[in-house]
Structure 1
Amino acid sequence: MEGFTLILLYLALPSLLFSAVKQILTWRKSLGSKPQFPGPRQFPLLGRVHDLPRYSLWLKFKEWADIYGPIYYTRVIDQTFIIVSDEKIAEELLVKRGHIYSGRPQIRSLIRHKEGPTYSALMDRHDIWKAQRKWAHAAVAEAYKHHFYGHVEREMRRYLGLLLLDPSRFLDYTREYCGRVMSRLAWDDATQGRANGDSADTTLHCMSVSGPITNTITPLWHLPAFANPWYRYEVRREREQRDWWLSNFRLAKDRMRRGELPGDTWAYRYFEQVKKEGNGDLNQTEEQEVFASCMIGFLNLVGVVTISGPLKFFLMAMGLHPEWQKKAQAEIDKVCGGRMPTIQDYAALPTVRACMKETVRWRSGVPLGVPHQAERDDEYRGVKIKKGTVVLACEWALNRVPSRYPDGDHFRPERWLEPGWPTYQEPLTRYPNFREGQAMHSFGWGRRTCLGQNLVDDETFVFAAAVLWAFDLAPKVCPRTGEPIPIDTQATNSHVILEPSPYKLDIKVRNAERGGQVLEGYREVMGELRL
């Protein structure tokens, strides 16, 4: 498809010409005058689109941050960017001025995402966004009070059993585990877990710089439909995703009417609210059903992609750092003995939490950060920031500020456990965590902060503790050379939210007794989980 790009660029010349005229007019207005943030040299028409990599873009942004400082400016064709790599600056702009910098930029290859109701995290701040965010916040908070009703632990027992039976498929099982937890919470249908993970991955591809070329060479999007394969694909993909969510919603509604839908699902919570508003028979317009199915469907989807990547990076980190694997296992054995850890062991396992927290710092799941857009003109440090400017707090750079994260390129869980490190906090029964405290910027900023910290905290802790309780992890050894097969820790799918590229691990049960316990736990949940 991309071999066709040059021809399509010629077809897109009218849009490029329009962009050029806009830029010339902008330059004429700004001649002579105003202070600007530093940044790389900008070229006519292109800005810096010619040397921005479509993969691992965060490395380029970190390179420029080292040259131009903690806040700098760049441009891609007709879109202006301000890149931030300092927590205080990010807080000043995205938190203290959140009333200005809480918009979302247009992702060119997604259709109407700013208007809604499909993807609440990608909408502008309007009534649809407010209603969906308010509902999702309350739904997640209520589920957290019950530690997500035990679904995390039950799905973990299934996961451990699968890992024991076929460890070579650990990457597939990890994403499916996240998908099953979310599908169970949303609709009471964990069998949707794999499809949920695949749908999330495809959506991320379409919204990423590494995805359709129309996300970077945006004028191509304006080609007529017959010459625009990216547009045609997106129309079909979004329609299929919405239809899938709507089908799940209607199936759950039928179960609710029959009294068969469990009360520990988000669908049940929604239908109960509809009943309390006086609609006892749950008859709704299609518009109302689409609104609700997208609200629950997106909450379901985003809980897969934000967690599966960190879990896969955690497995990688443990395989590459056996000294920390052993420290965490010793802590688990002391506290849990012969039983699988649960969320009730949280306070007693700070080393496990530190290894997980450091994984997310070392290999951020959102290394670019999630973009904010200025909703009106502003001024910062004497520099005019125009409405529509995209502000990116680059996580990869933030996580490597030397004064905050010494030796930032290396995996150092002790930074969360030992006094003297800038990120250390007491008491260790509470810190480190993903709910509060140091280095919470991974979840975003201000009014667009992710709502899922509590879910991430529970799910990643149970996963990390249970896997290390049951298994030893190490790099796979090449059968021909006898040497460990190298793992490229920076090889990823380069989506907005990352998963590592496939890699190999040697995963072995720690001993025969532990293997028997894993199988027993798997048998216990087989009857109650829809496998």
Structure 2
Amino acid sequence: MEGFSLILLYLAIPGLLFSVVQQVLSWRKKKDEPKFPGPKQYPFVGRIHDLPRFQMWLKFQEWAKEHGPIYETHMVENTFLIISDEEIATELLVKRGHIYSGRPQIRSLIKHKDGPAYSALMDRHDTWKTQRKWCHAAMAEAYKHHFYGHVEMEMKRYLGLLLLDPARFLEYTREYSGRVMSRLAWDDATQGKTNGDSADQTLHCMSVSGPLTNTVTPLWQLPAFANPWYNFEIKREAEQRAWWLNNFRLAKDKMRRGELPSDTWAYRYFEQVMRENNGNLDQPEADEDFACCMIGFLNLVGVVTISGPLKFFLMAMALHPEWQKKAQAEIDRVCGDRMPTMDDFANLPTVRACLKETVRWRSGVPLGVPHQAEQDDEYRGVKIKKGTIILACEWTLNRVPSKYPDGDNFRPERYLEAGWPTYMEPLTRYPNFREGASMHTFGWGRRTCLGQNIVDDEMFVFGAATLWAFNLSQKTCPRTGKIVPIDTQATNSHVILEPSTYQIDIKPRSPERGKHVLENYHSVLGNLRL
């Protein structure tokens, strides 16, 4: 093993030497230029020796307290601006969005900047523009119909599974999100688990906590025979692309037979192809690849971006029974013995506040999604070079005292009571995930996430229906009688988080409520493929 490591080191030396030359030339140019503050940097590597690959956002928060709301650091050949002030983030990423809307190279994700596989990670070129415009229109149309009732139908299935086997709640939660997205994309909810697993693996490959080549980037230059990271990614990406293409062609076959539901994104796309081709669905392979990636990524990105917050919500309710009881009292008053639906949105502000606070308290994207300067710029007298990576650190933004008092603690009342900086009226409308306070979770400017609407619907129905059906509590060890602790900051540390495995007790609120859950479960089995 030691000999292999030595070989890897020698093979990486050319890339490392190139980085050294770049650094030296850069220092000579920048010696007398104004700079942003930041932590001490070290020759050639910048500041990586004490920067954790896991929970990096905590270190960034520590540095923000020391160096201010905008500071600079370096990691090997990359320059980073770390922002923890909403006004600064708005100035650069929104008002100057024409400059700061690029995406940085993720070393271990092959050709993501070019496309067509990952629209959210592409540079702003024609492929990105076409895909984003199409996905925005498709998502907006589905939202007008509140996603055609699929959220509620899948929720009835989810609650039934939770009643029958509550120990698998984390697995079922991700599958629930995967099933909703796969049904909307291809009319195949059975792909939900595969969808979730594929999303998780993709996130691993694009995260700092993933392949070593994402941080020690010169290792990517190793030849293929000695580069396990490159070989893994080639295989993973090919399998994912083949899976997307297979789903696409199965949906096309259904379209030809007149069996594809009109409430799917695939139907919307094929209808467009037929209009342009005089009713013909035949396409060149390149067009199929473009479309299957466009729909496939839309399908995939909607899984963990929602399942992570849902898992944190279950955790928050088990840890804060006082808020669980408040939300349940509100649900019982409004809904009685029937499961909540989107029709109850306006009348359940406490539920919405608990969901909104969950996403603030344990952000699913604590580092923020990185932007990259597409040209040289200047801010506060300091030059920002093309290629600089900008991170609006969501973890720190969510704890700015003037905006979020007592930011480390779970306080849903910040959205319900006048006097809190984030309070907005009317409560029949706010809080929500589409507009209003705390919307920076969805990104900035031209790279804002397109999924606010489905997050709003899916999280609301999930939160309200789960609390309608079940009581959630911390688990008691059957041997010691002690409470099983939950580490609320233990996560997979991907760029989009899910909490690490934890345990809670999930029990129906009453025998009658359990009976309603089973009745709902059986009522949808005929319409849902399992």
Q: Give the TM-score category using the shorter length.
A: over 0.9
Cα distance in 1 for partners of 2:520, 2:8 equals 56
CA contact (8 A) 2:273 2:280 kept: no
Q: Which residue of 2 aligns with 1:394?
A: 393
Tell me which residue corresponds to 2:8. 8
Task: Name the structure 1 match of 2:183.
Answer: 184
1:25 aligns with 2:25: yes
Q: What are the residue-to-residue correspondences of 1:243-392 with 2, within 5 Å?
A: 243-392=242-391
CA contact (8 A) 1:257 1:281 kept: no
| Distance across 2 between alignment mates of 1:322 and 1:364 | 21
Question: For residues 338 and 98 of structure 1, what CA distance do their matches in structure 2 show?
Answer: 49
Q: Retained in 1: the 8 A contact 2:48–2:75?
A: yes
- In the aligned structure 2, how far is the partner of 1:517 from the partner of 1:488? 33
In the alignment, which residue of structure 1 is the partner of 2:92? 93
Counterpart Cα distance in 2 of 1:290 and 1:5: 38
2:444: which partner in 1? 445
Residue 508 of structure 1 corresponds to which residue in structure 2?
Answer: 507
Whole-angstrom CA distance in 1 between matches of 2:278 and 2:219: 46
Q: CA deviation at 1:53?
A: 0.5
AA partner of residue 134 (structure 1): K
Mapped to 2, the partners of 1:13 and 1:145 lie a distance apart of 56
Closer, same or farther: CA 279–12 of 1 in aligned 2, 3 Å: farther
Runs of 4+ in 1 over 2 A off after TM superposition: 1-7
TM superposition shift of 1:7? 4.3
- Matches of 1:165 and 1:5 in 2, distance apart? 49
Counterpart check, 1:81 vs 2:80: yes
Shift of 1:392: 0.3
Tell me whether 1:134 sits opposite 2:146 in the alignment. no
Task: Classify the secondary structure of the residue corresponding to 1:341.
Answer: coil
In structure 1, what is the equivalent of residue 105 of structure 2? Answer: 106
Q: For 2:301 and 2:358, how far apart are their aligned partners in 1?
A: 20
Inter-CA distance 279–245: structure 2 relative to 1 (3 Å threshold): farther
Shift of 1:289: 0.1
Shift of 1:521: 0.2
Q: Deviations over 1:154-210 (max 9, x none)?
A: 000000000000000000000000000000000000000000000000000000000
Per-residue deviation at 1:144? 0.1
- For residue 522 of structure 1, what is the aligned residue in structure 2? 521
Q: Which residue of 2 aligns with 1:50?
A: 49
- SS of 1:524's partner is helix
CA distance in 1, matches of 2:279, 2:117: 26
Q: Report the RMSD for the aligned CA atoms in angstroms.
A: 1.0
Deviations 1:61-119 (A, max 9, x none): 01100100000000000000000000000000000000000000000000000000000
Aligned AA (1:338): D
Equivalence for 2:193: 194
Query: How far apart are the structure 1 equivalents of 2:357 and 2:267?
Result: 36
State the percentage of identical aligned residues: 78
> Which amino acid letter does the alignment assign opposite residue 67 of structure 1?
E
- CA shift, 1:247, in A, is 0.3
TM-score norm. by structure 2 comes to 0.99
Q: Distance in 2 between matches of 1:5 and 1:213?
A: 13
Q: Distance in 1 between matches of 2:233 and 2:464?
A: 40
Count of residue pairs brought into register by the alignment:
530
Q: Output the amino acid matched with 2:97.
A: G
Cα deviation per residue 1:297-339 (whole Å; 9 max; x = unaligned)? 0000000010000000000000000000000000000000000
Per-residue CA shift, 1:483-515, capped at 9, x if unaligned? 110000000000000000000000000000000
Structure-2 change in CA distance of 1:92 and 1:245 (3 Å)? same
SS of alignment partner, residue 254 of structure 1: helix
Q: In 1, distance between residues paired with 2:35 and 2:333?
A: 57
Distance 1:57 1:523, change over 3 A: same
Matching of residue 496 in structure 1 with residue 495 in structure 2: yes
Residue 237 (structure 1) aligns with: 236
Q: Aligned pair in 2 of structure 1 residues 342, 52: CA closer, same or farther (>3 Å)?
A: same
How far 1:50 sits from its partner (Å)? Answer: 1.5
Measure how far apart 1:281 and its partner are.
Answer: 2.0
Residues 2/467 of structure 1: CA separation in 2 closer, same or farther (3 Å cut): farther
**SS where residue 42 of structure 1 aligns?**
coil
Q: Could you tell me how far 1:6 is from its partner in structure 2?
A: 5.5
Q: Partner of 2:49: helix, strand, or coil?
A: helix
Kindly tell me: are residues 394 and 4 of structure 1, through their superposed partners in 2, closer, same or farther at Cα, counting changes over 3 Å? farther
* Residue 163 (1) aligns with residue 158 (2): no
Change in CA separation of 1:46 and 1:3 when aligned onto 2, cut-off 3 Å = farther
Supply the distance in 2 between the matched residues of 1:50 and 1:422 (Cα, whole angstroms). 38
Secondary structure of the structure 2 residue equivalent to 1:370: coil
Query: Do the aligned partners of 1:242 and 1:294 also contact (CA within 8 Å) in 2?
Result: yes
TM-score normalised over the length of structure 1: 0.99
Aligned equivalents of 1:353 and 1:318: distance in 2? 13
Q: 1:459 aligns to what?
A: 458
What is the alpha-carbon distance in structure 2 between the residues aligned to residue 119 and residue 175 of structure 1? 21
Deviations along 1:438-463, one digit per CA (max 9) or x if unpaired, are 01000000000000000000000000
Question: Which deviations, in whole Å up to 9, do the C-alpha atoms of 1:325-381 show, x marking residues without a partner?
Answer: 000000000000000000000000000000000000000000000000000000000
Contact preservation (8 Å) 1:369, 1:392: yes
Q: 1:108 to 1:255 in 2, by over 3 A?
A: same
Q: Trace 1:430-441 onto structure 2 (pairs within 5 A).
A: 430-441=429-440
After TM superposition, give the deviation of residue 10 of structure 1 in Å.
Answer: 2.8
* Matched residue, 2:210: 211
| Inter-partner Cα distance in structure 1 for 2:382 and 2:178 | 45
Q: CA deviation at 1:278?
A: 2.6
**2:105 alignment partner, SS class:** coil
Shift of 1:49: 1.6
Q: Give, as a single letter, the amino acid of the residue that structure 2 aligns with 1:264.
A: D
Structure 1 contact 309–499 (Cα < 8 Å) conserved: yes
Residue 279 of structure 1 and its aligned partner are, at CA, apart by 4.2
Which stretches in structure 1 are left out of the alignment for 5+ residues?
Answer: none
Aligned in 2, Cα 1:2/1:298: closer, same or farther, shift over 3 Å? farther
Query: 2:130 is aligned with what amino acid?
Result: A
Q: 1:2 to 1:322 in 2, by over 3 A?
A: farther
Q: Which amino acid aligns with 1:124?
A: D
Question: Partner amino acid for 1:448?
Answer: R
